[in-house]
Structure 1
Amino acid sequence: MRNKYKKGSVVCLLALGMACTTYGQTRQYSVEQCRTLALENNARIKNANYELQSAREEEKQAFTNYFPSVSATGFGFNADKGTAQMNLAPGMEMSMLKNGLAGGIVATQPVFAGGQIVNGNKIAKLAVEMKQLQVQQSEKEVMLTAEQYAWQVLTLQEKLQTVLSVDTMLQRICNEVEVSVNAGVALRNDLLEVNLRRNEIASERINLENGIALSKMLLAQYIGLEDTDFEITSRLMNQTAESLHMDSIFCDPASSLPLTPEYQLLEKNLKLYKLQHKISIGKNLPTVGVGAGYMYHDFLDVDRSFGVIFASISIPLSGWWGGSHAMKKQKLQVKMAENELMDKSQLLKIQMQKCWNDLEDAHKQLEIASLSVEQASENFRLNRQYYQAGTITMTDLLNAQTLYQQNCDKYVDAIADCQIKRLKYLQATGR
């Protein structure tokens, strides 16, 4: 029993230790996961989807106009005397309709309404399609913002790692210089310079940690996380400029234009104005309807009920005076939408070319930054050897170290800038 108790205790302790270790682990998210979380949790996406649902309800409401409209009416009255009186003979009078009840139900089916019902349903369907495209636009902007926030956190994390690595190198240099000073082969001023540089590194570390904390708060709020106990990871941090495969992502602006939600919205906007022009014409055409009803009354103290069918036609005679101006106005709106489609289509293609130029520029900057890191690393290594050989001063060595750190930071910034501009170009070409 004692052995079983000991084994059980060991198992419980191991399980508790594993649970504590798991609980204490910092969550890790990739840039892609941040985009996904933003699409799931961001308030702007939720509101865009609510607007889409609202447009779908309006489409269903417009469809009900195809069906008959049914109405029921009823009334009753009780007068102090008959509302209808007749003199039958001198001294003889008849009074009627002192009280009574009446009611009925009528169904009216529109037969022709100048195309207003048909075009109204087309507009409602078009509104749903436009809302869907607006949801896509919102998703693009949210994804881009989430990626920018994620890369901001990631670059600050990488710069913090560089600072920690530099501090480790300076610690080793400080130890070596301290030994040399004690041996009398180095000046104490060299040791002071190293310590001053380490103080600068400590200050940079504080600023980076504060920047990371603030950036995580912004990212967490944007993608719907409850706390900032997480890190951003990316396999792209060690990539080279060649790994981006620039040639494979280029797309001709003319062929990409129909794929963009912005261009599709412009097309549907033109279609919307054309439908509104048709409705303005329909409002000035005759409307025809047929209907049927069932009526009841007891006005003469006799219950009477009967059915009725009817047809109606309404012709807006005086409506053409103002209606003609409304039709001309809508026709001008159509021409304006056509001009807007042409103008903004050209601007969208220019925007695609600009995004490509920006991406090419960022790609070249990444190539330069990658080469500069290699050269700065080699320069620092050689300067350290030269200092140990006594051919350069500590100032020269620390300048080489600072140059190395600066180029590492530029390399991290170049990667982030290249990735963000890559996403912008893909979105601008409808991908």
Structure 2
Amino acid sequence: MNKFFGLLILAGAVLPSIAQEKLSLDSCRALALLNNKQLSISKLKQDVAHNARKAAHTKYLPHVNALGSYMHMNKEISILDDEQKESLSNFGSNVGSAFTSDLTPVITQMAQSGIITPQQAQSLGQGLQKAGTSLSNALNQAGQKIRDDFRTDTRNIYTASVMFTQPIYMGGKIIAVNRLAEYTEQFTFNDTEAKQQAIIYDIDNAYWTVVSLSHKQKLSQSYLQLVKKLDSDVNKMIKEGVATRSDGLKVDVKLNEAEMMQTQVDDGLELSKMYLCQLCGLPMDEKIKLVDEEKNDLNVVEASYDANTQVAMDARPELKMLKNAVDMSKEVTKIIRADFLPQLALTGGYTMTNPNLYNGFERKFSGFWSIGVMLTVPVWNWGEGVYKVRAARGATNIADMELSDAREKVELQVNQNSFKVKEANKRYTMASKNTERADENLRCATLGFKEGVIQSSTVLEAQTAWLQAQSQKIDAGIEVKLTQVGLKKALGILQ
């Protein structure tokens, strides 16, 4: 990762001077890592996973929520029913009527018995009537007051509360969620690393392809000059009568082939540079020059790497991602199982209402605090939890088998790339020896042709052999570098 940031710094230094200076392999890598969209997406996914892990950690802590509400109702809450309200409103009338109806027969009986005179009875009846009316009015007013006092006036209700919830036992769900978030963050990190290695691998292949074609361009130009020189010499010899027209035609054919090869190499080099620019995030028509293009020798180092498969098992980001997938699947199983286990939480808070429910529906805010424990115990779900846990465990087994299969393939890949490195080293050694022989063969053929003891066809064969040997050496040198890159990628140490 430190080298990655170093490459980004290098890219920042290279960007202003791309057109003036030559690009090295490291600068091409830095540009590709800086401008690759998929890599940028992976980094954003890392940020998302990092924040998700922090969010999961908050599940351990108490959560506090505030709530406020207002409600208007067209009817108010009534403590008294309609019959009780009617009785209270007519309480005095009912009592006055009973009082009058009970005393009137007594006064009448007293008048009939002669205890009081009819005039006195009439006077008492009138007084009783007035007293009953006054009593009724007074009691009616008292009953109405009682009825009014029992009104709640709850058509407009205001509530406000602050509540907290502290999980105590959630069936292991919170722990599993946090571990799942950690494995997800590791997965995104390994995914970014895998994409970085893939980008570097593509850049290295494109870079050395351009270098290879650039060297072959110089080789084709040299070959073309050799054939042109031979063509000129043969034409002079034809004029002198020491060579035939057939010799000249053979050389002309080779000259046309050399020119065609030159055109093909030029076009291939142009397309390869366009592809390299595309990988680096540069305009495809950018005129770039590479450091290794100008070197006469590829500086091939026949390095060997220990094909230690354990290094690959520990370093390959793809295997790390699969291991993360297995761990994530296990945590998902725990989360599913937790939904079907008892869950315990501590709750509490403070609530205010208007009207005041605890003081006769007084039109003021007043509240109360509360604390409690909430327990949820699943009782019966027709085996839903068992089936879901089995399905989740099946997914875990699949991920584990994929990891095992990938490890076997990585082991095979490491061994294959190790053999390729050894073969490339041998091929380069042989190609270097063949080049020396081809150089000597061409030198002898050219000298013999000048002395007139060797025919032009022999020189053509020597030139063709020289071209082939030089081309094979370039291919072998590039193959050594690419196989080394391939082995590093197989081992997971490509940086």
Q: Note whether the superposition's TM-score is higher than 0.5.
A: yes
AA in 1 matched with 2:297: N
Correspondence list, 1:128-147, <5 A:
128-147=185-204
- Point out where structure 1 has 5 or more consecutive residues left out of the alignment: 1-22
Quickly say closer, same or farther: Cα 1:81–1:245, change in 2 above 3 A.
closer
CA contact (8 A) 1:41 1:223 kept: yes
Corresponding residue pairs, total: 406
Structure showing greater radius of gyration is 2
The residue aligned with 1:109 is 166
1:297 aligns with 2:353: yes
1:376 aligns with 2:435: no
User: Residue 320 of structure 1: CA displacement?
Assistant: 7.2
1:125 aligns with 2:172: no
CA contact (8 A) 1:240 1:370 kept: no
Correspondence list, 1:273-292, <5 A:
273-292=329-348
Structure 1 residues 122-144: Cα deviation after superposition (integer angstroms, max 9, x where no partner): 11011111111111111111111
Match among 47, 52, 56 for residue 58 of structure 1: 52
CA contact (8 A) 2:32 2:203 kept: yes
User: Residue 75 of structure 1: CA displacement?
Assistant: 2.4
CA contact (8 A) 2:190 2:321 kept: yes
1:79 aligns with 2:79: no
1:258 aligns with 2:320: no
Q: Mean Cα displacement is larger for which, 206-215 or 79-88?
A: 79-88
AA in 1 matched with 2:268: G
Quickly say closer, same or farther: Cα 1:312–1:128, change in 2 above 3 A.
same
Query: For residues 193 and 182 of structure 2, what CA distance do their matches in structure 1 show?
Result: 17
CA contact (8 A) 2:347 2:372 kept: yes
SS at match of 2:23: strand
Correspondence list, 1:12-411, <5 A:
27-84=21-78, 86=80, 87-88=84-85, 89-91=87-89, 92=144, 93-94=147-148, 95-96=151-152, 97-226=154-283, 227-234=285-292, 238=297, 243-246=301-304, 249-299=305-355, 300=361, 301-319=363-381, 321-411=383-473
AA in 2 matched with 1:141: A
The residue aligned with 1:7 is none
AA in 2 matched with 1:386: G
User: Residue 386 of structure 1: CA displacement?
Assistant: 2.6
Runs of 4+ in structure 1 over 4 Å off:
23-26
Structure 1 residues 43-64: Cα deviation after superposition (integer angstroms, max 9, x where no partner): 2221221221221121122122
Structure 1 residues 99-119: Cα deviation after superposition (integer angstroms, max 9, x where no partner): 221221211111211111111
CA contact (8 A) 1:237 1:415 kept: no
Structure 1 residues 59-107: Cα deviation after superposition (integer angstroms, max 9, x where no partner): 1221222222222222223333423252253435444323221221211
Structure 1 residues 310-344: Cα deviation after superposition (integer angstroms, max 9, x where no partner): 22111122247211222222233333333333332
AA in 2 matched with 1:61: A
Match among 423, 426, 431 for residue 485 of structure 2: 423
SS at match of 1:317: coil
CA contact (8 A) 2:19 2:288 kept: no
Structure 1 residues 202-230: Cα deviation after superposition (integer angstroms, max 9, x where no partner): 22222222221111111101112234311
CA contact (8 A) 2:302 2:480 kept: no
Quickly say closer, same or farther: Cα 1:205–1:24, change in 2 above 3 A.
farther
CA contact (8 A) 2:46 2:188 kept: yes
Quickly say closer, same or farther: Cα 1:293–1:416, change in 2 above 3 A.
same
CA contact (8 A) 1:237 1:412 kept: no
User: Residue 402 of structure 1: CA displacement?
Assistant: 1.8
Quickly say closer, same or farther: Cα 1:293–1:363, change in 2 above 3 A.
same
AA in 2 matched with 1:73: L
Normalised to the residue count of structure 2, the TM-score between the two structures is 0.76
